[in-house]
Amino acid sequence: MNQFATRKIRLIMKLRSEGIQDTAVLSAIEKIPREAFVPGSMRDQAYEDKTLPIGLEQTISQPFVVATMTQALELDYNHKVLEVGTGSGYQAAVLSLLCRRVYSIERHRPLLEAAEQRFEQLKLRNITAICADGMKGWQEQAPFDRIIVTACAQIAPPDALLNQLKEGGIMIIPVAFADGSQKLMRYKKEGEDTFAVRDIVPVRFVPLLPNVVARNAYQPQELQEVAF
């Protein structure tokens, strides 16, 4: 048992007590080593239920939010999933254990490259990631059974993402409203232009922005060897 095992067990129990009842989701979170996705100086906080910075003003979401979003997707192992906002790669890694294929988009190339190194180290072979404008989705791979967005849209999801969702498909996305609040929203596509919409929980995410960010001096955090 490594140094993180007890903390991980405590986190899983906390998530279960807070309403995460999907055993497949809890199992995926238990299997993916979150310590591999956070900066080295913060690895002792990897299994605390909180958001942590990963550079470039981006964050790795708190485990409760990751679990809530993943559970709300109602994943099937045959599903093809689009993730907008690769970030550290942690959410994609969790998804990869629950579906057939994950397509992930990140606008910050250094974050993408670091995430891809983690996927390779953990032998997660069913994730394909690109540096692109996530607001445009991934038309070449559409339609998707599920879409998850890990940055906050303004008022409503981008039309491109709604259009790339299969009929019967589900999108989970944080949305900011005029009063400044953010809520995690679930959109289920019931027809070509018809969606059933409901809110899940209040959240706080970085904004969903267009375009690809130019490479800068940011250096990805050092990776550590992990068992998987």
Tokens of 66: 């990751």
Query: Does 1 score more than 80 pLDDT?
Result: no
In CATH terms, is domain 5-202 a member of 3.40.50.150? yes
Spatial distance between the Cα atoms of 213 and 192, rounded to a whole number of angstroms: 33
Give the pLDDT band (50/70/90) at residue 96: very high
When the pLDDT of each residue in the chain is averaged and rounded to a whole number, the result is: 93
- Residue from 33, 79, 98 nearest 60 by CA: 33
108-117 pLDDT, tens digit per residue, is 999 999 999 9
Beta-strand relationship, 165-176 and 144-149: parallel
Q: What is the mean pLDDT of residues 41-68?
A: 95
63-76 pLDDT, tens digit per residue, is 999 999 999 999 99
- The better pLDDT of the pair 14, 223 is held by 14
- Name the 3-class secondary structure at 208: coil
pTM of the model: 0.93
- What DSSP character marks residue 221? P
| Domain boundary assignment for the chain | 5-202
Spatial distance between the Cα atoms of 21 and 112, rounded to a whole number of angstroms: 31
pLDDT of residue 227: 39
Spatial distance between the Cα atoms of 8 and 33, rounded to a whole number of angstroms: 9
Active-site residues, by number, are 61
Of the chain, the percentage scoring pLDDT greater than 70 comes to 93
Query: Does 2 score more than 90 pLDDT?
Result: no
Spatial distance between the Cα atoms of 68 and 36, rounded to a whole number of angstroms: 21
Give the pLDDT band (50/70/90) at residue 192: confident
